A = this chain, B = another copy of it.
């Protein structure tokens, strides 16, 4: 086997071009004409690679790196060895991300997995579906009746788009994703296996079991949303489920019917939102957080991973634990409880083996 090449080798940027792009000051002796074609962490970087340095923890690697150019925090600039070409700046990591995007523009949005264009053989497009020019439908994808898809959008293999769904321009819909009863904006990225728009989980307990509540709403996904693999978003019951502009959702997140997510929120992996939860703009939820139905997470509020929210969280605050409370209090209480428990066992530290 030869080594596979997953990313198109970029034509690259010179150090001078990179300096201009990130508005950085070249260090003394910087080789401005060197062409950079890849990125790498500092310990792995070679002579054609861009890297960055912003943490004294990696000083040893800085001393011996072979990187072609290193974006470096101003306060660390003097630590760089003299042979290393550096660009000095306030926020080298942010600059590194910007240059990486410029080197690998294709990496910002998944493209056709079949390197195809237009409607592939093996795709099934209903005759009443309307596709703008420049839509790519990979093999095995199924596009339902009256669906509309905007220019530049790529539908990966085996994705399923239901009747009447609208998808905007320059979107990327992942392999085997399913989209039903949804209106989707521009530049939206759904990763593989996402399920959007299925029935919400609504039943009324009756004498002979559960009676199903018809789910007659939709899912609205605004521009620039990204949703991770195997996440699920149910359509609304009588209202809509809404995901606001620029919000980013990780893998295996579950969003129940009638939730309203604001703009630029972050939901980490395996978060679960019960019905009718509201997140205000820029709210952030850590991994595996659960929020009980009808509660609101305020603007710019943060909830620590794995917390269970059973009340509203005020704007701007950080909460944690279950039931969730302000995060510092929660962590402090954890320590105090350990101490109280220790005292109550007679001050002896546990000597039972594993926990020693």
A133-144 Cβ-contact flags toward B at 8 Å (1 or 0): 000001110101
Q: How far is the CB of A43 from chain B (nearest CB, A)?
A: 10
- Interchain CB contact under 8 A, B350 and A328: yes
- Interchain CB contact under 8 A, B306 and A146: no
- Interchain CB contact under 8 A, B328 and A355: yes
Most B CB contacts (10 A, CB to CB) among A120, A224, A274, A345 go to: A274
- Assuming A124-B139, A226-B212, A354-B317, is B1 touching A195 (CB within 8 A)? no
Is A152 in contact with chain B by the CB < 8 A criterion? no
Q: How far is the CB of A196 from chain B (nearest CB, A)?
A: 9
- With a cutoff of 8 Å between Cβ atoms, the chain B residues found around residue A218 in the complex are 6
- Interchain CB contact under 8 A, B140 and A101: no
Is A192 in contact with chain B by the CB < 8 A criterion? yes
25 A-B residue pairings within 8 Å (CB atoms) = A1-B148, A4-B148, A4-B165, A6-B181, A41-B238, A97-B211, A101-B211, A115-B163, A120-B124, A142-B158, A158-B158, A160-B176, A191-B198, A195-B251, A198-B251, A203-B248, A203-B266, A232-B251, A274-B305, A317-B354, A318-B355, A332-B345, A332-B350, A333-B338, A337-B340
Q: How far is the CB of A322 from chain B (nearest CB, A)?
A: 6
- Considering the chains assembled together, what is the distance between the CA atoms of A212 and B108 in angstroms? 7
- Considering the chains assembled together, what is the distance between the CA atoms of A207 and B281 in angstroms? 13
By secondary structure, the A interface counts as loop
- Assuming A158-B176, A178-B176, A334-B323, is B232 touching A230 (CB within 8 A)? yes
In the complex, residue of chain B having the shortest beta-carbon distance to the beta carbon of A310: B305
Contact of A269 among B40, B144, B256, B288 (CB under 8 A): B256
Is A26 in contact with chain B by the CB < 8 A criterion? no
- With a cutoff of 8 Å between Cβ atoms, the chain B residues found around residue A206 in the complex are 94
Most B CB contacts (10 A, CB to CB) among A162, A166, A248 go to: A162
- Considering the chains assembled together, what is the distance between the CA atoms of A157 and B340 in angstroms? 57
- Interchain CB contact under 8 A, B254 and A269: yes
In the complex, residue of chain B having the shortest beta-carbon distance to the beta carbon of A95: B204
- Considering the chains assembled together, what is the distance between the CA atoms of A139 and B239 in angstroms? 31
Most B CB contacts (10 A, CB to CB) among A166, A183, A191 go to: A191
List the 6 closest pairs (A to B, CB-CB), nearest first.
A326-B355, A195-B229, A107-B214, A209-B246, A178-B192, A142-B157
- With a cutoff of 8 Å between Cβ atoms, the chain B residues found around residue A144 in the complex are 113-115
Is A298 in contact with chain B by the CB < 8 A criterion? no
A89-106 Cβ-contact flags toward B at 8 Å (1 or 0): 000011001101101100
Is A213 in contact with chain B by the CB < 8 A criterion? yes
- With a cutoff of 8 Å between Cβ atoms, the chain B residues found around residue A266 in the complex are 203, 210
- Considering the chains assembled together, what is the distance between the CA atoms of A318 and B203 in angstroms? 20
- Interchain CB contact under 8 A, A272 and B246: no
Q: How far is the CB of A286 from chain B (nearest CB, A)?
A: 8
Is A344 in contact with chain B by the CB < 8 A criterion? yes
Contact of A158 among B138, B140, B336 (CB under 8 A): B140
Q: How far is the CB of A77 from chain B (nearest CB, A)?
A: 21
A315-348 Cβ-contact flags toward B at 8 Å (1 or 0): 0011000110111110111101111110011000
- Interchain CB contact under 8 A, A192 and B331: no
- With a cutoff of 8 Å between Cβ atoms, the chain B residues found around residue A201 in the complex are 228, 248, 250-251, 268-269
Is A292 in contact with chain B by the CB < 8 A criterion? yes
- Interchain CB contact under 8 A, A101 and B41: no
Is A270 in contact with chain B by the CB < 8 A criterion? yes
